[in-house]
Amino acid sequence: MNRLTIEDLPDPDNSQAVFAFAMSFNGYEHFGSSSASMQAAKQHKRTTLIDVRNELFTSARASRHMENEDFLERYRELLPILRELIGSDA
């Protein structure tokens, strides 16, 4: 996975960009299965970029399945954490 910068974070009002960003991390692949990815996301650890990106990924997948845009609210919630984690990783 490439290093993220603050500039990589999409505008929270751009649903297509946020969805594309969410899908740029594949939690199923990282954790080995959809079940493992979902289980990790439900813990809401939020201590690493992997934790936060996986939580956004699973939220976006669920929104796609439910045909809604609830993932945007999750992204808005996670955005300050993403910024902090990216900033501390620099």
Looking at residue 2, its pLDDT comes to 60
The amino acid at 37: S
DSSP type of residue 43: T
Compute mean pLDDT per 10 residues along the chain, 90 residues long, and list them: 86 98 98 98 97 98 96 98 87
Looking at residue 44, its pLDDT comes to 96
CA separation for the pair 30, 87 (Å, rounded)? 23
Locate tokens 């929104």: which residue?
Answer: 63
Tell me what percent of the chain is helix, strand and coil, each rounded to the nearest 5: 70, 0, 30
CA separation for the pair 65, 88 (Å, rounded)? 34
